[in-house]
Amino acid sequence: MRCTICEVGCDIPPGATGRCRMYTNDGTGIVERFPDAFLAAFPVAVETLPVLHFSPGSTFLQVCTVGCNLTCGGCVSEVLVGNAESLAASKIALKTDDLLRMAAGHACTGIAFALNDPIASFPTFCTLAERAKEQGLLVGCSTNGYMTASSAERLAGRIDFANIGLKGASDASYCACGATSAAPVFRTIRTLHEGGVHVEVSIVFRKSGEAEVLEAARMLAAISPEIPLQVMRFVPFGDAGLGEEPTIYASEDLCDRLRGILPWTYLFNSPGTAYLTTVCPACGTPCIEREFFGPMGSHLSGTAQTVCACGAALPVRGSVSTEVFAEPGMMGGYRVTRGLEMVWAILSCLGVRDQAALARIWGEVLRSGMLGKELHERMNNVDAYLDLVMDFAHRTDRVEAGQDLCTYIRERLAVIREGVADAPRPRVYYAMGHPLFALNPGRFEGKLVEAAGGTYVNRAIGREGKPGVTIGREEFLAFSPEYLVTSGFLTSTVEDTLRYCSEHDLAVPAVRNGQVYAMHPSWDFGSPRWILGLMTIANILHPDRFSFDIEEEADAFYRRFYGVPYRAAAANRSFAHPGTER
């Protein structure tokens, strides 16, 4: 029997499942394997979904299940898609009634399905949407849009907004994700738009993929030039390599070209970029200011008005919320998947490979609320991190492996702490992406700077974002850092950092003296590999006291805790994986 929910159109024999593994043939028809079963739910600001032109600043209950009908390289939701069956079977499900109570309890404007694709739980999502509407809630979702015409029509009658995630404009871009054609997605966009749904479109931009994105923009403009376009600068998670990641500069240049086709074009995954702000088309005044807020997310950061002072109205539905919800810890948008991957990063070093064991721990983390304040705080403290390692070691009966990992880290940490006890402490500034996007005062990277014998000047910043905030030129100059380091996550090259500093006249000592560094991917946060980052920083700040052979140390770590040579693993931005195969 053929499944007619999505365009993959799986032919499912009785008792079998289709590609997404979320539907089966029960002998009478195609049914959900896990009906009315949601994995997680938490309140978020609408910009972290991300949706930019719909009720700015409003709070929505973000919900997810597991699974997806496509298989895309570098998936940001790898945890939920690659381990779908184990997670679905882990018996931690929330019901529709639970979600409605949570939405009311958090005074949410509505409910939004994101993180995995609602097409994997389509009947369940439609029922939730109907129930939510009955209670006066708005409903939205993020979806890849690869659904049948009948599913799109059914969806159009039940939601108020949607973020459609394009893979490109060509059939080839969809074949790479296990589909056959881009046409069904553009059909879905048109169906929803013409059905009165507020539609925004996100598209992945991979290195050298400008032509694909520009063609997609032209196809969208033919539907409506007022559709907001969110350019997702590709960040290589999962099995993707660094060679696919474009720079922030290249991404901003592309956005300039795109705005000649779709005027409401925005750039994500690019800390410090100005291309998240909505600017009045009549006078150029910033009307809705936003800044980076974790992978694929943003947050209001200043002025927020849907009508400019000059009188021009912006194509934004709904009013601006007077109170913007601030997600705690690792909550909010796709930061949740990164939080789960940080847990996976520890489990991976402990040798936990079994999907059922991984799903059990992820389930415990989600059910207990650890992703909020607790996990965030323990992940952001050097000594507490080691306690967290042993916590998960005990939960998985890997105590000996946990002790081995902690011993490895503690021995090197002790050498560094002893070596800098009486050392001068140079001023170090830590950025992410653009130099003026400063990491938060309490971030883990700053703890590494201090452990390595430096003064973390970011501590003087009196405000916080996630993972940081954009600061002004004068504030940066006042820090007068002797060293400038950019994070290993969503980073910029040294060349781009120096270029930015030159263009903005940021002539601090670090720039004048060539003391600008880009950290190795995922060596300074999110994985036990941070010990390699600590040794790297110690070498930089105190070359007279430390001469760690980083290549040798990395090879020892990778062989001991991943079972592969360091040189066999090409780095990417994932926390859990040692890297892709060379």
Evaluated on CA atoms 419, 422, 427, 432, the torsion sign reads positive
Residue 536 lies in a domain: yes
pLDDT at 290: 96
pLDDT band at 90 (very low <50, low <70, confident <90, very high): low
Instruction: State whether 375 and 432 are in the same domain.
Output: no
Among 17-21, 48-52, 456-460, whose mean pLDDT is lowest? 17-21
Over its C-alpha atoms, the chain yields an Rg (Å, rounded) of 24
Q: How many residues does the chain have?
A: 582
pLDDT of residue 80: 76
Out of 395, 418, 441, pick the residue that ends a domain: 418
CA-to-CA distance for 539 and 519, rounded, in angstroms? 12
12 within some domain: no
Q: Are residues 393 and 414 in the same domain?
A: yes
The whole-angstrom separation of Cα 115 and Cα 227 is 22
Would you say residue 147 has pLDDT above 80? yes
Instruction: Give the residues across from 202 on adjacent strands.
Output: 165, 230
Instruction: Give the E-state strand segments of 194-252 in sequence order.
Output: 198-205, 229-233
The CA distance from 412 to 548, in Å, is: 10
Residues 388 and 298 in one domain: no
Residue written as token pair 């939080």: 339
Question: In this predicted structure, which of 100-114, 272-286, 349-363, 404-418 has the lowest mean pLDDT?
Answer: 349-363
Cis ω for the linkage preceding 467 (within 30 of 0) = yes
Indicate whether 261 and 387 sit together in one domain: no
Average pLDDT score over residue span 354-369: 86
Find the CATH number of the domain harbouring 555.
3.40.50.1980
Report the distance separating Cα 163 and Cα 50, nearest Å: 7
The most distant pair of C-alpha atoms in the chain lies apart, rounded to whole Å, by 76
Domains: count for the chain: 3
Answer with the one of 294, 310, 327 that is the final residue of a domain.
Answer: 327
Give 41's strand partners: 63
Show the tokens assigned to 158: 């039940």
Q: Report whether pLDDT(226) > 80.
A: yes
pLDDT of residue 185: 98
pLDDT above 70: percentage of residues in the chain: 98
Residue 5 lies in a domain: no
Residue 16 located in a structural domain: no
Mean pLDDT of the chain: 93
* Of the candidates 60, 42, 40, 41, the residue with the CA atom closest to the CA atom of residue 50: 60
Do both 476 and 555 map to the same domain?
yes
- Domain ranges, residue 407: 336-418
Q: Which of 391, 418, 445 is the last residue of a domain?
A: 418
Mean pLDDT of 228-253: 91
Confidence of residue 84 (pLDDT cuts 50, 70, 90): low
How high is the pLDDT of residue 322? 84
| Cα 33 to Cα 37: distance, rounded to the nearest angstrom | 10
How far, in whole angstroms, is CA 5 from its chain's centroid?
A: 27
* Contact call for residues 329 and 373 (beta carbons, < 8 A): yes
**Residue 300 predicted with pLDDT over 80:** yes
Q: Residues 254, 397: one domain?
A: no
Same domain, 252 and 282: yes
End-to-end CA distance of the chain: 42
Give the whole-angstrom CA distance, residue 290 versus residue 51. Answer: 12
From CA 130, how far away is CA 150, in angstroms rounded? 17
Above 90 in pLDDT, residue 231? yes
Residue for token pair 């009045």:
280
pLDDT of 238 > 90? The answer is no
Q: What are phi and psi of 203, to 5 degrees?
A: -140, 135
pLDDT at 128: 98
Average pLDDT over residues 259-288: 95
d(CA 227, CA 201): 7
pTM of the model: 0.94
Kindly state the tokens that stand for 169.
């404009």
For residue 397, pLDDT beyond 70: yes
Whether residues 396 and 490 fall in one domain:
no
Q: Measuring CA to CA, which residue among 43, 38, 34, 77 is closest to residue 344?
A: 77
Q: Which residues contact 154 (CB under 8 A, 6 or more apart)?
A: 126
> Residues 182, 299: one domain?
yes
Residue 522's pLDDT is what?
86
Q: What is the spatial distance between Cα 343 and Cα 216, in angstroms, rounded to a whole number?
A: 36
The tokens describing 144, both together, are: 């890849």
Quote the pLDDT of residue 89.
66
The predicted structure's pLDDT at residue 237 = 80
Of 502, 433, 499, nearest to 470 by C-alpha is: 433
Both 463 and 385 in a single domain?
A: no
Q: How far apart are CA 443 and CA 430, in angstroms?
A: 10
Tell me how far apart the alpha carbons of residues 394 and 391 are, in angstroms, rounded to a whole number.
5
